[in-house]
Structure formats: C-alpha cells, structure tokens
Amino acid sequence: MSQTSQTGQIPIPQLLEQGLFHHRRGEFRPAMDRYVEVLKRDPQNADALYYSAVIACAEGQYKEGIDMARRSLSFRPRQARVHNLIGKALAEQNQRKDALAAFDEALACDIKFAEAYANRGNMLCELGRFAEALSSYDRALELEPIAPNWLNRGTALEPMGRIDEAIESYDKAIALEPNVPLCYINRAHALGRAGRHQEALATAERAVEVGPKVPYAHLAKARALMAIDQREAALAATDKAIAVAPQLADAHKARALVLEALGRREEADASRGQAEALAKN
C-alpha cells in the first residue's frame, strides 16, 4: 500500500503531527511524505511549507528551501521563524546582506526572537560591523543567556580590541558548557593577544582534552607553544592537527610557519605549497 493511500483519510492536523514526530527523530523521508500529502490536499498550508523548507535546508538544498519558505510567507506573511530560516539559508550561500535583511524581517515579526538576534549578530560580524553585532548579541543574551550567545559576544569584542571583556565572555560560555572546544580555542586566542601565553597554553591544552579530533584545538596549542618558544612541541601540535584533518589548509600553513622558525626552509616551502594547493580546492 502506498504512503498516500495510507494517509489519505487522516485529517490534516494529524498528518502534520505525524510529520513532526518523524521530523524530530531525524527521519526526514517519512516526515516529508506527510508534508507532501498535506500540500496535495491544501497547497496553501503555510506550516507544511515551512517544515518542508526546514528539511530541504537541512539536506543542503538551500534554493529549494528558500522557495518553499517564501511560498509559506505568501500565504501567511508575518512568520518570524520563516524569515529566520530564509536568513540562515542565505547565509549558507554567502548572501550576507540578504541574510541580514531576512533576520531583520524576523525581528520585525517578533522582537523577542533570541535566535534571530544571534543570527543577525553573526552576519554583522561577517560584514565587519562588530559594534552592531555586539548589540545584537547583548539583546540575544538578555532573552536567552546561553553559552553560544556568550561565545558569539566574545567573537565580536575581540576585533574591537576589548580583549579582557572577550575573555570574560568566553569564561561565562565555559561555565555554562564546559565541554565545547571552540570556547577554549577562542579563549586561548584572546589570552595570547593579551600576552598571557602560559594561560593561553593551559587553555589550548584543555581544548585538546575536550576536542581531540578538532584540528583547531591542536593549532591553538601550537600557537601558544610558539609564543613561549617551544618550537618542536609546536611542530608536534601542527602534525596532530594534520593527522586529524589532512585536507585542512590552515594546518599545513601553521606547520610551514613553525618549520620556518626552526630553520627547516625546504620542508616549510613544501608545507606552504601544500597549504596553497588545498586552499584552491
């Protein structure tokens, strides 16, 4: 029996609930079957269009997701979550200004939408508008004081030269979620900028402990080791980063810099060449 015949007599609200049940479990195909059936019966169902758009974006089909999300808005315009989804899909396609506009639309629909403030901050950071990004992150934190928002706040403060405040933000993120490698990676970087190299090394080592398969944790350790002139140990750290992520151009570039500092110029040139080749791919 086909899925359509199985669902043909089920009321639309129940079909949507079935779709969401599968959706929450990550079972996208059966979820999509339900949404498609809803849309066959009710092509203007804004909820089914939105949930279908969410699945399309989760599967990397951003254009299709945006199209379905915009169809949902055509039938029910003031949907903050839909504008937010469109913004995230546009951001994935590096359409930053359009993504920012979508997040602004989301907030026009719901001024207390914490995720949209955080996403807006991310886009502003990528556009180099750090003071505005900080304002968005602060608003997100007022509404939802969670670790990612503290982490994001730190990333806005660093390029503004407010290093001590950035470190404080990373500390608050770590206090809430102590096993997130990126919090330690960013904290180590900020400590290095502040000249607190031993603390940076200790923090980078913690990043490696909680994220041994995260290449940037090893690169943070290499950077901290270089700052205290432990070049051989730094080289070992870059080698570990490459072992974790052989195709990461940044890891080969870092290795080249360490080798250069060690006076091993031919090896440095080889690593640099490999980094350049990987960066082009």
150: Cβ contacts below 8 Å, ≥ 6 apart: 141, 169, 170, 172, 173, 176
Euclidean distance between CA atoms 281 and 269, whole angstroms: 19
3-state secondary structure of 14: helix
- For residue 272, the model assigns a pLDDT of 96
- For residue 3, the model assigns a pLDDT of 44
- For residue 6, the model assigns a pLDDT of 53
Do the beta carbons of residue 103 and residue 116 sit within 8 Å? yes
User: CB count, 10 Å around CB of 119?
Assistant: 24
Token look-up 């950035």 returns: 166
Task: Write the pLDDT tens digit of every residue in 30-64.
Answer: 999 999 999 999 999 999 999 999 999 999 999 99
Within 13 A of 166's CA, how many CA atoms are on the CB side?
24
Task: Write the pLDDT tens digit of every residue in 119-128.
Answer: 999 999 999 9
* Sign (positive or negative) of CA dihedral 157, 96, 52, 58: negative
Task: Write the pLDDT tens digit of every residue in 1-27.
Answer: 344 445 558 999 999 999 999 999 999
| pTM for the full predicted model | 0.88
Enumerate residue ranges in the chain where pLDDT < 70: 1-8
% of the chain at pLDDT higher than 90: 96
- For residue 7, the model assigns a pLDDT of 53
Euclidean distance between CA atoms 65 and 150, whole angstroms: 29
- For residue 281, the model assigns a pLDDT of 78
122: Cβ contacts below 8 Å, ≥ 6 apart: 91, 133, 152
CB neighbour burial string for 1-37, b if at least 16 within 10 angstroms, e if fewer: eeeeeebeeeebeebbebbeebbeeeebeebbbbbbb
